[in-house]
Structure 1
Amino acid sequence: MADRTPREATTRDKQQRKRAWTRPSALPLPDPKPGIKYRWVRTSLLGNSDNPNVSTRFREGYTPVKASDHPEMQLLPDLDSRFKDNIEIGGLLLCSIPEEIAEDRVEQQLEDAEKQMKAVDHNYLRQSDPRMPVLKPERSTRTTFGK
């Protein structure tokens, strides 16, 4: 006689492989939300508060993430934290920023880097001594490990 149990009702729990233990991340990220990017912002360095760094990030558009908004983080608050209701681990504060602002920030940084490279090239190619021919600058980066 054939077994009439629906396939959805059968489980393979006993046949599954045992899950290996993995070390938890030192700086966990919250569950992603659409349109939001996260970043850890330094609030203290070697036990001294880093107010200039925090205020710079806040002016850039970062806002501290409330611990109540992300219960999946399961963290104990730092004892001497200035950000009691937020997520802070060892002098790092979890902050969020809208995705559009984060993309604009990256584009601006790339544009600034390109302007700096053009300025360096212009200064280098400005040289006019005929005894020292100017070659076009080569831009190639190579990383090697070991011997």
Structure 2
Amino acid sequence: MRLIDAVPKEGSKRRRRRVGRGISAGQGASCGFGMRGQKSRSGRPTRPGFEGGQMPLYRRLPKLKGFPVINRVNYTIVNVEDLAGLEANTEVTLTSLMEAGIVTSDDGPLKILGNGDINVPLTVKAAAFTQSARAKIEAAKGTCELESAE
């Protein structure tokens, strides 16, 4: 098959309608657009989404970009640098951090972020770790254990 063989099927293409060329042509004078009004004017079609001046749907939807996450999980976040002051081989959980005074409020399950450095081996039990936090804790000969985020 060649490019010249790619032609529309016989009878599938109709010639364009020549409007406004006299009444004998079948579409003279108002060209089939009726008498007056916005839909009869030249340059006629309104833009997609136009609702006659009413605030269109795409502008009525939530003003802020995106939609809220329905069941969003709020984490109590702690950076790796905050854990550096703990003693070696300590088991780190949310309750132990609250007892140590590193965390003052329980905002949800514990998440460890990777800001700062650590050089003491710790056993960290948290609901989530960032990749950099996990790498730094394991580089310091510590372990990362995932707990359920309830």
TM-score (norm 2): 0.22
- Which protein has the larger Cα radius of gyration, Structure 1 or Structure 2? 2
TM-score (norm 1): 0.22
Bigger helix fraction: 1
Bigger relative contact order, structure 1 or 2, given CA contacts below 8 A and separation 6+?
1
